[in-house]
Each structure stands twice: as structure tokens, then as C-alpha cells.
Amino acid sequence: MDSLITIFLPLALAVIMLSLGLGLTAADFARVARQPKAFAIGAFSQLVTIPIVAYAIAVAFRLPAELAVGLMILSFCPGGVTSNILTKLARGDLALSISLTGIISLVAVFTMPLFVAFFARHFMGLDAPAIDVTALGLSMFLITALPVLIGILVRRYAEGFALAIERWLSKLAVVLFVVVVVGALAANWALFVANLTILAPSLILLNVVLLAIGLGLGRAFSLTPAESTAISIETGIQNATLGITVGSLIVEQAAALPPFSLPSGVYGITMYLVSVPFVLWRRRVG
């Protein structure tokens, strides 16, 4: 289990983020200027709406303090490769989805450590772990932002190579995601079973509400159906691997993944119970 936490988990996340970076081009960032309304709505939804909904659910379900912090960690995570795949399958605006995922992933390096430290103190008080915001931000940069930037540069200066490895690297990212989720649940099996009756409903509700809000915002601001679908999925689907990793980074614990990682681990399973029917529905209406 030590190797899972100290080596495999950060490495898996880095590979996943590298895969994301390989799919990004300069056009994806320039698109922000061409589609400012759609991007602004998506960014607001991710950075503001998700944490508000997550906090309301944590309070309403009276989650234990450590699990409430874990839920907030998940809410600060951007979308990931999974959200891009689901957007494509749902016939959403894939370019918008990739732009949101890439840029919010870079922004999260700065915002996430601050918010995690705040909500850890809010829910746990004196029992909160001492979180070094600078160290957490640096760790996140090394395992999230840096691989994304490397992927972007490889795509820019060696496009043929990037295109050649992107497909199999994306498949590897999915496999690593599954291994991380299974490992997180196995490491916290007793805690998982004990809290499944409150975690599963709360996470499923989080998914449903966020997908609905994202879709509603798109329609309220007269976005195209494809743009609305992309924003809905980017709002409703978070990077669970990042949530598991951050949960393990904020405590000095190498023997097992901490409870802070458990909501993200459970979410890695429950999100498909909601997202798959949603994707099938959007394929029909789109």
C-alpha cells in the first residue's frame, strides 16, 4: 500500500494529466476569446457552483468531518479526461470541454490548496491537519500542471509523435484511473462500508444536481445544445483521481489512503451511474 500512495498514485495522475495535455492545442486556448460567453459560464459553474452545491450536500447529509472535507476536495477538482470522453460520446462541444478542462486544471493549482486548507479548518476545527498551502500547491503543480504543460509543448513541437501516442496514452489513463479508484476503496474498505449509505446517496445527488445546473445555465444563456451539454458534463464530472491524490497529500500517512480520499474514490464509481444515462439521453436529443 505504501507504493500505491507514494509512487503509483502521483504517477497515475501525472500520466492522466499528460494525456490531457497532448489533446490541447493553441486553438483550444484561443477559443476562449472566440467563445467568451460559453467559457465564462463553464468556468463560473466549475469554480463557484460546484463548491456551493457540495457544501450544501455535506451539511444536509451531516457527513462526518473528514468525509465532508473529502467531498469539498472533490468539488475543487476540475474535469478530466473522463469528462472529455463523456462529452464526445454525448455529442457535446468537445473543443469547449477540452478548453475548460485544460484551463481550469491550471487554475486549480492555485485555488485548490487555499480552499482545501480553509474547509479543513471549517469542518474539523482544531482537529484539522496542518496543511502547508505552498507545499500542496507545489506538489499539485508537479503532478498536474507540469504534465499538462509538457503535453501541450509536445503537441506543439512534435505533433506527429503526440498524435501517435495520444490514443494509447488515453486508454492507459483510463486503466490507471480504475486501478486508483479500486485501490482507494480497498485501502479504506471498512470505512467505505460503514459510510456507504450516506456517501453513495450524497455523491449521486451531487452528480444529478450539478449536471442539471450546468445544463440549465447553458439554456438560460441561450447557448447551443452542444455547448450546454459540454458545460453540464464539465460541471457534473470531476477528476476523481486528483481528489484521491490531494486527500493523501494533506496528511502524513503512508500506510493507507486517508478518509479524505474516500469520497473521491466512491465518486469514481457512482458518477457512472448518473453520467451514462445522461450521455445516452443527450445523444438522442442532440
Parse the chain into domains and list their residue ranges: 2-285
Q: What is the C-alpha to C-alpha distance for residues 270 and 264, in angstroms, rounded to an integer?
A: 10
Q: What dotted CATH number matches 2-285?
A: 1.20.1530.20
Helical H segments across the chain, by residue range: 2-3, 9-22, 26-34, 36-44, 50-60, 65-75, 81-89, 94-124, 133-140, 146-157, 159-187, 189-220, 225-236, 240-249, 262-285
pLDDT at 275: 92
pLDDT at 4: 56
246 CB neighbour count, 10 Å cutoff: 28
pLDDT tens digit sequence for 156-178: 888 888 888 877 887 787 777 77
82: confidence class by pLDDT, cuts 50, 70, 90 = confident
Kindly report the average pLDDT of the chain as a whole number. 86
